[in-house]
Structure formats: structure tokens, C-alpha cells
Chain A
Amino acid sequence: MKRQAKAQKELYQRYAPLMRAICMRYTHDFQEAEDMVQEGFIKVFTKIDQYAGTGNFEGWLKKVFINTTINHIKKNKNLLFHYDISEVHYTEDAVTESNEDYFSTKTNILDVDFSEEEILKIINKLPDGYRVVFNLYAVEQMNHKEISDMLNISISTSKSQLFRARKTIQKCLIELAEMKVEHRRQREDKQRKKSPLRLIV
């Protein structure tokens, strides 16, 4: 019993930071993320006998936590994906030809170095539906069929949520990138103005 408790504590200390980060990607509420972490570890400790022993343990752990997180959100937030892509006539095609500067934007964004915190802030600003679908698709690398099954939504809803999430993130990244560029430019200007003075001195 004592050995089991020790092993559990070691497991917690090793994986808790990673699992907390996962939870915080799905909710912007810190306290809620704490609850999810607790719920997830309780589930792990009570159902650890279900782990077959084969395969990646961290992968199994992540899966448990993602399921816990999704259930938690669904239970407490009544996560709804109300408007289907077909219902609101909001299709991906509608924006295909709209902006010619996508490639240049992409190049610009890729040039900028964003911090983890900045990215997390952007994700946390997304509406619940966007955030959950984007996380599952982009980070957890699940496909739309798996996402639709997990969230009990249609595949087209999953696609539309992902598209909207990407667009929102893209917009935020562009704004952030522009701010960073502007900030850098201002700093460079300041330095340029200061440099002659130094020379004079």
C-alpha cells in the first residue's frame, strides 16, 4: 500500500506539469484546469489496471486527460456547436478567393518568433467550440471523424469550427506579428536616434 502511494506520487510529480498544460489548453479558467487535473489523476489511479502495459504510457495518460477534459467541459459548460456549416451558409469556399495576401502573411508570420505564453493566450481567447476542435485537430492530431464522434457533432461542424478557429488564430497572429514588427521598428529607431549622440560623446 505504501509502495503504491509512493509510486503514485512519483507518477504525479512526473506528469502533472504536462497534464496541467493540456488542461489549460482546453480551458481559460485556471481553477477549472486544476479541477480537471485532479479529476484526471483520480481516474488514472482508479483505472490504471485498464492500461494494457503495452504502448506509450504517456500517450495513454494524455488520452485519459483529454477525455476527462472534454467530459468536464461538456458537463459544466454545455458545450454547444449550434450552427452547422451548411446552416449558416458559411463555407470554406466563401473565403478562398478573398485575400491574395495569404502567402505573404504566412511568410510574415513564420518569420516571427512567438512565445508559448502568447500562443496559449490566443488559444484561450477562442470560443469553447473553436478551441476544443482546434486543440483536438491541430495539437492532438485527431481527424474530423474522431472529433465528431468524441464531441457528438457532425463532421461538417467540426470542419467549420476548425476553419473558424484557424482564421481567428491567424488574425491574432498577424496582429501580434505586426505589433512585434512595429515594436522592433520603434526600438530600432530609438537606437538609431541614440547612436549619433554616443558618437558625439
Chain B
Amino acid sequence: MADELNYIDKIVRDKVANHAVESSLNNWAHIQRAAFWKNFFTFRIFSVNAYYAVAIVMIGIGSLSYFIEPASNVAQFNQNDQLVAETNPSVELNPNNEAANRNTPIAQIELTSKSPIIDSKAKDYQIDYKAELAKPNPSDIAKLSKIEIPSSTEPIALDRKTEIQNKNASLTDVVHPDEISETPSPKLEKEGHADAASLIASNVTEEKTGVLVDVESPTIVDEKLDSENQEEASLLPVDFISEENTIEEEETIEPSLEENLAPESPANLEDAFVLAEQASLIGDLNYMPLRSLVYSNSMAFDPAYRLLYSDTFDYYVPPAERYLWRLGVFYAPIYSTPQNYASNPEVVDVIRQKEKIEKPAMTFSTGVSLQYQGRKRIGFQTGVGVTQLGDLFSRGEYSDITPYSYPKYPEGGYNEIDTILFFNLDSLLQGVEYIDTIFDPQWVEDNTMIEGADTTKYKGAKVQNRFTYIEVPFLFSYNIPGPRLSYTLKLGMAAGFLIQADGKKLNTENEFEIVDFEYDSPKYRKVNYSVLAGVDFNYRFHQRFSFTTGFMYRRNLFDVYENYPYGLKYTSTQVTFGIQYYL
């Protein structure tokens, strides 16, 4: 029989197969625009697209901030910053090595003009300490970190001190007169020596480049001397310890305390007291490792200055360590996608239907966050927020076809049967408006029955499902710092406490009708958990404020309902915008 009707196919095919209908150019403009944007948001390696654009913008911002901002470990210090000695120096890492590894200047100390003496000394030394220092070459830094400067262990005979003073600046140049002690130090009294370290430190004041010093592990200048002569050699000024000036060739006389102090000479007297003071202080200095190495002009490097005017100095402390806690507010539009699945095989068809008519929806998340940044870049984040998940429950017009079999006489002719004569009470009660019934006329095949179908068209419907949670996240974070722009990778979980549910669903008896969830009262899960993963870009535009943006992926761990055959979980992606305050 089917073959007998093949000629119908041929008639139609011959007429319509190559049929053409002219089109308007208005359509073309629309197509061109839409295709451009669709292409733009599709990633292709060899074409311009949104992903490349975002990357270029991010790199641009990063580069800009790199040039605008000095290196991350250069900080400005205010008058309130204090030099604080380490409480437990033995456990502190050698900052020299860290500096060498980082290949960046360790710190730049900026002196304040709090102390007038610094200004005057700066003039004496022709040092512009307020000027920004040029950024050193990383390879130079690596070299500098290996420079060994003797300090603190080399006693120097006081009779040679004058000689040194003639050549170089003495400690008297760097000590405030008020700080001179009236009492000679017991160490000076006993040994008649001053500590070489302070002198050597002051000797480098002429240098205007940065110097790195490892205070923790000072070295002896000349290790070639045998142990027998070490003691003798230690009484000599550093300059004299050389192969040419051996101990044997030059007779050394240990001066007496009285001679060395030279009480008749006010200058010497002053120096003696100064040296005494320094001797005691340098001792402390040896056990006070620097928090960071100093890259600065020599004046700032001078240990005496650091000790005596500690309130005008500080060492650089990286922001991540200084501002461990950050408090922020955020808002994030969410692209929420429903994931339907059947926990009961009997409802597979309904789930398939749901998948066709449920679409992702835009929702939001907002709240406050608290972030802790640890010293090892690892930290955590928590907070509290309101998060809404949901979907767009959208269905276009649909037709419900009711098959029928009905006795009819006489045979032959067409018959129409309308199953809904006036209105569809059931559908109206359920809030689904129908449009009309369309009769499907049927040819009466024999003299007893007609078989056919009546089609009822229903109007489309659009509803939104919304589930609102109070959410408490806990995420581990890994921070990648930069001058201004830092990146934070985050991974963790969030507990969501349901506070409002506005849900619609397909009628289980007639899967083409949308009804309220209250229709058969499913139980909502009151507490649901989600897995969160994302990345934040943190742009610090102020010492204590930063702007944050980022991407976050979220996936429900459990169903929205409890004990319900229609499984529903949400996956969502969000773009976060926020402001953070460094506590």
C-alpha cells in the first residue's frame, strides 16, 4: 500500500526540492552581528576571541602595575614604624639566601626626617636618602648577597683607631651626642678594645650603592693566619692584617687602657665612650638578625644608626605578612544550570522532558568574606553570604493529542471529534491555559468505527525556580603575589542553609503540565553542601584596600529535595566582584 502512494512523494519532490524564496538583506545584518559575537565568545587558537581579549587585559593591568609600583618588597615606612629585635633569632632563616633566590632587592629603607641629625649627616655624606634607588640587576643582587663583610668579631687596637679615623668616617660622626654614655663599658675597660664592626660599618658610608650583610654569620678577614697568631692579629686594625704585614715582622705593643683612653684628649675621651657604647650595642646586634636584608644607601645600612635611631627605621615586611587578614564584601552574578536525573527508573521519561524545558538562569550571590593569608602563600577563606540557585522553567506551546475510537454510521466521509467542547477545567485549575482544540478529521474506514485523534493546544509557560540559601564557605587558598595584582587559587566547600524555595515542576501524572511544588509537597533538603573551586584576581589600589574579581565554579553535592524520585542538583559559574580591606 505504501508503495502505491509513492507517486505523492514524487509530485511534491519535483515541485519543492529546488524551490527558492527570496530573502531580505535585513536578515543579513542580524546574522552578521550574531555570528560575530558567537565567534568572539568561542575559543579558537588562530582567531581573535574573548578569551584572548581577557588575557590581554589581565596582562596589561599586570604590566602597568609592575611599572607604576616599585618592587613588591619595597615599602614605605612611616614614623610609627619601629625596629623590633627578633625574639627568637635562632629559628629565623637566613634572609640573604631568600634574597638571592628571589633575585629582587630585599628592601629599601626610606628615612624620615624625624631626626634632624640624619638630615645633616646626609648632607655631610652627600647622600640623597629620599631619592629612589635604581632597581638593581638581579644578577648583581645575587653577587651582593655573597659579599662577606667582617663584623663584630675583630677587635681593633685603639692606638690604630686614629689612623683609621683619618682615612674614614668614625663612629663619632654617626652617634648623637646625647647618646654618649658617661661610663666606659666594662668590655672596653677590660680589654681596651673597640669592636671593629662599628668602624667597618661606618667605613662604608661613602658607598652609595646598597650592601647586603649577613650579620648572623660574620667572617674573619684573613683566615691564612695560623692559630697562634690569631690572638695577636686580632689586636690589629683590619687594614694591617695582610701577608705583607705579618705578625713576626712587626712588633706590636699592647697599649694600656690609660694610654688608649687618652683622658687628656677630649676627642679621644669622647671616642672612647662612644666605642664603649658601641661595643656593648654591637654585641646585641650580633644576636639580632635582620628581618630582611637591607638594600639601601649606606647611611641606612649603618648599624649604629639603626640602633640609635630605631624609631626612624624599619625593615621591610612583605604585605602578605603584614596584612594577614582581609575583610571583604562581594557580589556575584551566577549562571545556574540545573542537572536533572532520575533516582527512580520509572520517571526517566519525565526527566527527559524536564531536560528539554528547563534552562539555566541568572541568579546571584552576595555577602562578606574573611580571608587569611599565611606566610607560605597558603591561607583560607570563610564568610557568610546569600546565594540563590535556580533555573528557568520554560515551555513553549505544546499539543496534547487524545486518540479515540468511536462508532460511527454511516460509513464513508470525514468525522471530527472534539474532546474538549467548552474549556479544559483540569488544565485551568492547574494554571495551564489552553488555546484551542484542533480537530483532526478522520475518514471513516469501515461501517463501524472511526479512529483518530483530537489535538489540544496549550499555551506556553515561563516560570522561574528559585532556591535561596544562607551559605557559609570554607576554602583553602594559594596566593601568587605580585606588585599590585595577585592571584589566589581557591578550593573548598560551602554549607548552604535553605531559607526560601519557590519551585515549579512537571506534573507527575501529566508530564506536560507545570505545577507548584506544593502540589505534592516534596521535602526540600534544608542543608545542602557544595564544592567550590575558583581563582581570584586581587588588585591593590590602596595600602589597605583592594578590588577583587574572579571566577568560581560551584556544584551541589546533594539533591535539592529529600527522598524524591526527580533528582535535581545545580552547577553554577559565577563572576565575583568585591572590595577587600586589609586588617
Contact = CB atoms under 8 A, between A and B. Distances in A.
Interface string A99-143: 000100010011000111001100100011000001001110100
B455 A41 contact: no
27 contacts: A9-B32, A13-B28, A17-B20, A17-B23, A18-B20, A20-B21, A21-B16, A37-B27, A45-B35, A46-B39, A49-B44, A76-B397, A78-B356, A80-B401, A82-B403, A82-B453, A83-B403, A87-B403, A88-B451, A89-B405, A102-B4, A120-B16, A123-B16, A139-B13, A139-B16, A167-B443, A173-B11
Interface in B399-429: 399-401, 403, 405
Interface SS of chain A: helix
A118 to B, nearest CB: 8
A57 interface: no
Interface stretch (A90-98, A184-192, A193-201): A90-98
B250 to A, nearest CB: 85
Contact of A77 (B13, B398, B400): B398
| Overall SS of chain B's interface | mixed
B9 interface: yes
A5 interface: yes
Contact of B32 (A8, A16, A77): A8
A170 B12 CA distance: 11
B167 interface: no
Interface of B: 1-2, 4-5, 7-9, 11-13, 15-23, 27-28, 30-32, 34-35, 38-39, 42, 44, 356, 395-401, 403, 405, 438, 440, 443, 445, 451-453, 455, 512
A42 interface: yes
A51 interface: no
B401 to A, nearest CB: 4
Contacts of A115: 15
In the complex, which range does the number of interface residues on chain A fall in? 35 or more
B395 A42 contact: no
A123 B11 CA distance: 12
A46 B405 CA distance: 49
- Interface centre among B8, B453, B512, by most chain A C-beta atoms within 10 angstroms, is B8
Contacts of B21: 17, 20-21, 24
A39 to B, nearest CB: 9
A190 to B, nearest CB: 29
B17 A139 contact: yes
Given A78-B398, A92-B1, A20 B23 contact: yes
Contacts of B445: 94-95, 98
B19 A21 contact: yes
Q: Which of B1, B44, B405, B512 has the most CB of A within 10 A?
A: B1
Contacts of B28: 9, 12-13, 16
B400 to A, nearest CB: 8
Interface of A: 5, 8-9, 12-13, 16-18, 20-21, 24-25, 34, 37-38, 41-42, 45-46, 49, 74-78, 80, 82-83, 87-90, 92-96, 98, 102, 106, 109-110, 114-116, 119-120, 123, 127-128, 134, 137-139, 141, 159, 162-163, 166-167, 169-171, 173
Nearest to B34: A42
Contacts, number: 149
B512 A138 contact: no
A18 B16 CA distance: 10
Contacts of A38: 27, 30-31, 34
Contacts of A13: 28
A173 B32 contact: no
Nearest to A93: B1
A97 to B, nearest CB: 9
Contacts of B401: 80, 82-83
Contacts of B32: 5, 8-9
A38 to B, nearest CB: 5
Given A9-B32, A21-B16, A42-B35, 12 more contacts: A13-B28, A16-B28, A17-B23, A38-B27, A42-B31, A78-B398, A123-B16, A138-B13, A139-B17, A159-B2, A166-B5, A173-B8
B16 to A, nearest CB: 6
A163 B5 contact: yes
Contacts of A16: 23, 27-28
A87 to B, nearest CB: 7
B23 A46 contact: no
Contacts of B27: 16, 34, 37-38
B5 A139 contact: no
Nearest to B353: A78
B445 to A, nearest CB: 6
A25 B12 CA distance: 11
Contacts of A119: 11-12, 15-16
B366 to A, nearest CB: 33
A8 B139 CA distance: 55
Given A8-B32, A18-B20, A78 B397 contact: yes
B46 to A, nearest CB: 10
Contacts of A98: 445
Contacts of A5: 32
Nearest to B512: A78
A90 B39 contact: no
A191 to B, nearest CB: 29
Nearest to B412: A98
A94 to B, nearest CB: 6
A71 to B, nearest CB: 11
A79 to B, nearest CB: 8
B191 to A, nearest CB: 84
B8 A114 contact: no
Task: Tell which of B4, B35, B403, B453 has the most Cβ of chain A within 10 Å.
Answer: B35
A120 B19 contact: yes
A109 B11 contact: yes
Contacts of B2: 92, 159, 162-163
Kindly list the 9 A-B residue pairs having the minimum CB-CB distance in the complex, ordered from nearest. Answer: A78-B398, A138-B9, A17-B20, A45-B35, A16-B23, A82-B401, A166-B5, A21-B19, A119-B15
A96 B5 CA distance: 11
Contacts of B403: 82-83, 87-88
Contacts of B16: 21, 25, 116, 119-120, 123, 139
A75 B396 contact: yes
Given A82-B401, A119-B12, A45 B440 contact: no
A24 to B, nearest CB: 6
Nearest to B404: A88
A12 B26 CA distance: 12
